[in-house]
Amino acid sequence: MSRVLVGITGSVAAIRAPELVASLGAAGHEIKLVLTESARYFVDLMNVSQMAAVVAVHQDADEWPVGGYTRGDRVLHIDLRSWADILVVAPLDAHTLAKFALGLSDNLLSCVFRAWDFDRPVVLAPAMNTRMWESPVTRRHLAQLLEDRSLSAAPACWTLAEVAETFACHAPSLVLVPPQSKKLACGDVGMGAMAEIDSITNAVWNWTQPLEDSAEPA
């Protein structure tokens, strides 16, 4: 069983969070959730907190103790980074992608990402409107993530259709599960819907199963 930290951001696809948690839980993973403020609009906290595999649900307000900081207090984003075997951000909205790319760390989830040890994997499942996904800004932010994590010289020219393969080749610990084309919540039809839950959980399995197998006694 692996420890999976799931970040949920403010895309409409966040309504699928219980489905994702249930799928990861069925695979035997232990789960902690980190919700951004905008994600709370779409997620029933009481519902997800009571799901069997969930051991904790965290929000931005949990980062620092009520009443002020005392020397020696625990730092939540560091504790979460240390606890997790893998970080999954699903859905990854456009705003959080921009924060990750630029190194901004103004909420709990972006602090976890900024402090992450990339010897351990991160799975990102973007979800946004088609125009947002196809914006040059999106490719620029993805390219910044790739440049930061690349283990070999990444090609200068690649398309959004090639993003998963490009990351897999040049930044294997940063897994992009690309969005799919379908009718979006806004009524538009096109690329941008979050990948199917099975695609995300399979990406987690591809990383965690070898770790679990190697931990078994000979």
CA 109, distance to chain mean position in Å, is: 9
Task: Write down the residue that tokens 């690349």 correspond to.
Answer: 150
157 is catalytic: no
User: Of 111, 157, 169, 186, which one is the catalytic site residue?
Assistant: 186
- Partner residues linked to 31 by β-bridges: 4, 54
The residue among 112, 118, 141, 144 whose CA lies nearest residue 6 is 112
DSSP string of 141-175, one letter each residue: HHHHHHHHH-SS---S---GGGHHHHHHHH-TTEE
Just list the catalytic residues. Answer: 186
